[in-house]
Amino acid sequence: MKADKKKVMRYLKTSKGQIEGIMKMVEDDRYCVDISNQVLAVQALLKKVNHEILKAHIDGCIKTAFLNEEKEEEKIDEVMKILDKYYNI
């Protein structure tokens, strides 16, 4: 992986902490809207992680494939499959 590992790990560790907090909120029967807001915050962080990883993939693997004229279609298909999942297609 060519993404900024420190940045990715920071986001993931923060997400993990937030998820543990959400679990505690559920156990403590906290207000549903408060729990939902925390879930949305974790989702936003995970989107940032995914963005960082995909950007690095495009800047690295895909760019290299196109420069070397190797597996361009395969690389495009990989990214399209991810985008399909992102957009629930």
User: What pLDDT, on a 0 to 100 scale, did the predictor assign at position 31?
Assistant: 98
Q: Which of 62, 64, 65 is nearest to 54 (CA)?
A: 62
Question: Over 90: is that where the pLDDT of 28 sits?
Answer: yes
Q: Which CATH superfamily is domain 5-86 in?
A: Metal-sensitive repressor, helix protomer (1.20.58.1000)
Mean pLDDT across the chain, nearest whole number?
93
pTM: 0.81
Q: Give the Cα separation of 67 and 36 in Å (integer).
A: 45
Rounded Cα distance between 42 and 19, Å, is 7
pLDDT band at 87 (very low <50, low <70, confident <90, very high): confident
Domain boundaries in the chain? 5-86
| Mean pLDDT of all residues in 66-72 | 87
CA distance 1 to 62: 13
Is the pLDDT reported for residue 53 higher than 80? yes
Greater pLDDT, 20 or 87: 20
